[in-house]
Amino acid sequence: MDTIQVLKALSDETRMKILKMLLEYNLCVRAISRRLNVTEATVSQHLKVLRECGLIEGEKRGYFMHYNVNKEILKRVSAEILSLTEIEKETCSPKLGGCSPSENERCHVMKDENQGIKRCCKRAGEGRCGCRKHNVE
């Protein structure tokens, strides 16, 4: 599963509507096109994108293909997004690459009452932080 490919597929409003429909019902292209009031060709193109990233699977029933959502893919992507909320910010430092080599020499520690300690680099004579990570006076 390619998370970026899945997120790109979900970024389209029509594909998201199709996915929601398929979570509730087992539908074919014709049924989806009637519900969305778009052509069957349009629905087929959207289904192709959803199929290529693994979000849906087709099941042949007579002459028609009915589609189901692969909920495992949805669960994995949502777990990956949820894990992003657990990432903690680190203090800016020259070692993290936030400062240019010339700023590394002037790196200092500043205390901020609201956010604790920050490592920043003052530009010569300006009194402003030159660090790209934050701009602390």
Task: List pLDDT tens digits, range 75-88.
Answer: 999 999 999 999 88
DSSP 109: E
**Candidate from 3-7, 21-25, 123-127 with smallest mean pLDDT:** 123-127
Torsion angle defined by CA atoms of residues 100, 103, 107 and 113, in that order, rounded to the nearest 10 degrees:
-80
Cβ–Cβ contacts within 10 Å for residue 77, how many?
A: 19
pTM for the predicted model, two decimal places: 0.66
SS3 28: strand
Q: Which of 44, 65, 45, 131 is nearest to 95 (CA)?
A: 131
The domain ranges of the chain are: 3-84, 89-124
Q: Is the pLDDT of residue 64 over 80?
A: yes
How far, in Å, CA of 30 to CA of 23, rounded?
17
**Candidate from 57-61, 65-69, 91-95 with smallest mean pLDDT:** 91-95
Q: CATH assignment of 3-84?
A: 1.10.10.10
